[in-house]
Amino acid sequence: MDYFAQQLINGLVLGSIYGLIAIGYTMVYGIVGMINFAHGDIFMIGGFIAMISFLVLVSLGLTAIPLILLIVLLVSMVITALYGWTIERIAYRPLRHSFRLAPMLSAIGMSFVLTNFSQVSQGARVKPVPPIVTGGYTLHEGPAGFAVQLSNIQIVVVLATIVLLAVFTWLVSRTRLGRDMRACEQDQTMAALLGVDVDRTISMTFVIGAALAAVAGMMYLLYYGLVDFFMGFVAGIKAFTAAVLGGIGSLPGAMLGGLAIGLIETFWSAYFSVEYKDVAAFSILIVVLIFMPTGLLGRPEVEKV
Amino acid sequence: MSATSARPSHAAQPSGSAFILKKALISAAVALVLFSLMIGIRTEAGPQGGLIYWTRFGDLAALVGTVFGGSIIIELLRQWWGPIDTDHIVPKPVQAAMSFAGRWLAPALLVFAFLVPVIFYNQRYILDLSILVLTYVMLGWGLNVVVGLAGLLDLGYVAFYAVGAYSYALLATNFGLSFWVCLPLAGILAAFWGVLLGFPVLRLRGDYLAIVTLAFGEIIRLVIINWQSLTGGPNGVSGIPRPTLFGIPLDNSDDGLAAKLGIDFSPTHRIVFLFYLILAMALLTNWVTIRLRRLPIGRAWEALREDEVACRALGINVTTTKLTAFATGAMFGGFAGAFFATRQGFISPESFTFQESALVLAIVVLGGMGSQLGVALAALTMIGGFELFRGFDQYRMLVFGIAMVLLMIWRPRGLIGHRAPTVYLERNQAISSDLVKEGHG
């Protein structure tokens, strides 16, 4: 039971990270109707920028951990958001009215560019970071000496996710930008006729998605203590699985799917085999698409002739 | 690359040096922010395990300067060329020359391909490279059946290549079966896996299909890595037997081919044999595809690519059409995989990553999706281009990615190909098939 509780905590934390990435997929799919294949790599770039800015801040002599975390968060969100904006501008916008496969292939190319850009610019080796947020609580001491631990970093990850989700939900449901985004999702031509700047709205979607991915990258860095240039690929596919599981286009669905994937992966590694955890995640993607193509909270897609 | 928002589709495009300069300045500013941390600061794991860093502001300045200059050049080129999507009228003589070249290019290439081992007999490097190019030509033609003809975007094609390679490697090393027995078996096994993948994805379309095939490719690779007792895991399978000329080995033993023919043994014989083997296999793929296109099933594939809903309405069985496309494409992938295994003598999961799938897909797309000649030329360009970058190994995939993005922006329908259906009504065609989104009811 203690073991189960511990895995539950670990799974929820992992799921929060997946959920943050999945929101980026689901938003872009909802508005532009394409899978932003490079989104996993944006998450990776976010992790790298967090790592570098953390390193610079520490070597400048800053010691207050909350201040460091806040600055790292802002820097990585801003720069990664600019990456999202640039990618949309260069690789996707010229293809918006091209044939269907073109944006997908362009996104695959962009994903290669980002992966290899960070490999070339920062080297291929794994970058370890010393634990920044340390300490934690022991929730329950088991008889066999197994204790259920809740570390501070896990609390930080979950809290940050909740706060961001609240801000993000407010943004989508209460602001002008959110209304524009929902309008573009329904009908871009009509939205444009009614005075919505479609190009700008789509750009903002990419910016917000990238900023959330940057937070996920930073959380990954804090939680696992390392980044490497290849981490975006697998994390990206898993987050996409989460978005599909939750119902693509649905924001709460993305978070729910993220939590589900995180839990499944953690429990699979804990009770079955660590080696096959990725196989499990990918199999879920296939199974979900076969039996539940609309996901948990998605709307069925209407086929127009 | 420019990074501001001018719309090329609008007629009244702002021009003038002030506009260009402003645009270039914005691009440079964006580049400065993007590269500030990633290029300006280099991190590395230090000797004690912690991280160390050093600054590279010179590189950063150079890169930002490049973006500034490049943005000006691109903007000037764009104003000189006009909007991307306009058709430029090609003069008559050039058109005539093009059509002449188009008619004679394929036979000329074929003759040249047959003569390659004769011309370059003493240049081992060129022979090896041409074997590699032909392997990718074959893979490209195989994937062309799935992507180009049936319009099903397959991002996990390398899985079938892996199935073929491992089928031959394991059958040959464990049971001592010869290459010529294993080759059909590898094809059949790969086709079987193609059908297995095909079944669950029958209902999926477009992007979803792409992601599922990608996941499938990754599953196969992960299983190969982790199923150590069968596949040797990351260490791969080594000691895979070389192919024989119908039982006659190509080595310098007494019953080898050289001894039988009474000529001096040379290791080049085997290379030349491999070359003609893959050439024959690739041509077989090509021939089968061309013949299939003329059969009802080939017509059904093209119909499926153009419009799935209409296809169903006309009574075409979409299920079998899709499954045969997957199975046929997978079978050729399996053949190519078996060839790859016998040529290398050693295979490991590293050869079957997603990058390979993307490379083959890029070849098909570059070749114009559906054009056989286009795919062959694209494979030649891609693999040749990769070889040019051999010295800059770490930049290779970076350049590949950039090329893929630029290609999609510049020529989304491929460099050479024109993807017309084999049969269509001569008259009364209201819109060309180029204008219709494929597979999208």
Tokens of B409: 């922006």
- Lowest-confidence region among A76-80, B183-187, B244-248: B244-248
In angstroms, the CA A301 to CA B32 distance is 42
How far from B381 is each of A293, B358, B363, B384, B415, CA to CA, in Å?
Answer: 39, 15, 9, 5, 11
Q: What is the per-residue pLDDT for B393?
A: 73
| Choice between B396 and B429, residue whose per-residue pLDDT is larger | B396
Does residue A127 sit in helix, strand or coil? strand
CB atoms within 10 A of CB A106: 28
Q: What is the mean pLDDT of residues B223-236?
A: 86
Q: A230 in contact with B at a CB cutoff of 8 Å?
A: no
- Lowest-confidence region among A265-269, B173-177, B245-249, B266-270: B245-249
Which of B153, B207, B216 lies closest to A34 in CB terms? B207
Q: pLDDT tens digits, residue range B79-108? A: 887 665 555 566 677 777 777 777 788 888
Q: What is the per-residue pLDDT for B378?
A: 87
- Asked if A45 and B441 come within 8 Å (Cβ–Cβ), the reply is no
Q: pLDDT tens digits, residue range B112-125? A: 888 888 888 788 88
- Asked if A51 and B51 come within 8 Å (Cβ–Cβ), the reply is yes
In angstroms, the CA B39 to CA A120 distance is 9
Which of A104, A109, A233 lies closest to B207 in CB terms? A104
With residue A268 as reference, give the H or E element that holds it.
helix A251-271
One-letter-per-residue 3-state SS of A140-184: EECCCCCEEEEEHHHHHHHHHHHHHHHHHHHHHHHCHHHHHHHHH
**How does residue B133 score in pLDDT terms, banded at 50, 70 and 90?**
very high
Which residues of chain A make contact with B223, given a CB cutoff of 8 A? 279
Which residues of chain B make contact with A261, given a CB cutoff of 8 A? none
- Of all residues in chain A, the percent with pLDDT exceeding 70 is 97
**How does residue A19 score in pLDDT terms, banded at 50, 70 and 90?**
very high
B residues 332..361 contacting A (CB < 8 A): 354-355, 358, 361
Q: pLDDT tens digits, residue range A29-58? A: 888 888 888 999 999 999 999 999 998 998
Nearest residue of A to residue B393 by CA position? Answer: A120
- Average pLDDT taken over every residue of chain A: 87
- Asked if B43 and A101 come within 8 Å (Cβ–Cβ), the reply is no
CB atoms within 10 A of CB B203: 13
**Do residues A7 and A147 lie in contact, with contact meaning Cβ atoms separated by under 8 Å?**
no
The residue type found at B412 is P
Q: What is the mean pLDDT of residues A92-115?
A: 86
Which residues of chain B make contact with A57, given a CB cutoff of 8 A? none
Q: What is the per-residue pLDDT for B306?
A: 82
B residues 40..79 contacting A (CB < 8 A): 41-45, 49-51, 53
A213: nearest Cα among A188, A231, A194, A192: A231
**Do residues A125 and B44 lie in contact, with contact meaning Cβ atoms separated by under 8 Å?**
yes
Q: A237 in contact with B at a CB cutoff of 8 Å?
A: yes
Q: What is the per-residue pLDDT for B7?
A: 44
Q: What is the per-residue pLDDT for B157?
A: 92
Which of B30, B50, B53 lies closest to A82 in CB terms? B30
Q: A226 in contact with B at a CB cutoff of 8 Å?
A: no
Q: A119 in contact with B at a CB cutoff of 8 Å?
A: yes
Which residues of chain B make contact with A305, given a CB cutoff of 8 A? 309, 441
Which residues of chain A make contact with B437, given a CB cutoff of 8 A? 99-100
Does residue A15 surpass a pLDDT of 90? yes
Q: pLDDT tens digits, residue range B35-62? A: 988 888 888 887 777 788 888 888 899 9
Which residues of chain B make contact with A275, given a CB cutoff of 8 A? 222, 226
CA distance A130 to chain B (A): 7
B residues 78..137 contacting A (CB < 8 A): 84
CA angle, residues B432, B437, B441, in degrees to nearest 5: 110
Q: What is the per-residue pLDDT for B249?
A: 73
Rounded to two decimals, what is the model's pTM? 0.86
- Asked if B215 and A282 come within 8 Å (Cβ–Cβ), the reply is yes
Q: What is the per-residue pLDDT for B95?
A: 72
In angstroms, the CA A203 to CA A210 distance is 11
Does residue B3 surpass a pLDDT of 50? no
B214: nearest Cα among A216, A244, A95: A244
Q: What is the per-residue pLDDT for B327?
A: 93
CB atoms within 10 A of CB B81: 10
How far from B425 is each of A185, B113, B316, CA to CA, in Å?
Answer: 38, 36, 19
Does residue B426 surpass a pLDDT of 60? no
CB atoms within 10 A of CB B17: 9
The answer to whether the complex's ipTM is over 0.90 is no
Q: What is the per-residue pLDDT for B440?
A: 44
The residue type found at A72 is V
- Lowest-confidence region among A75-79, B237-241, B279-283: B237-241
How far from A126 is each of A76, A117, B49, B194, CA to CA, in Å?
Answer: 19, 15, 11, 36
Q: What is the per-residue pLDDT for B231?
A: 83
Q: B432 in contact with A at a CB cutoff of 8 Å?
A: no
Which residues of chain B make contact with A269, given a CB cutoff of 8 A? none
Q: What is the per-residue pLDDT for A176?
A: 92
Calculate Rg over the CA atoms of chain A. Answer: 19
CA distance B175 to chain A (A): 28
Which of A45, A120, A199 lies closest to B5 in CB terms? A199
Q: What is the per-residue pLDDT for A136?
A: 78
- Asked if A83 and B34 come within 8 Å (Cβ–Cβ), the reply is yes
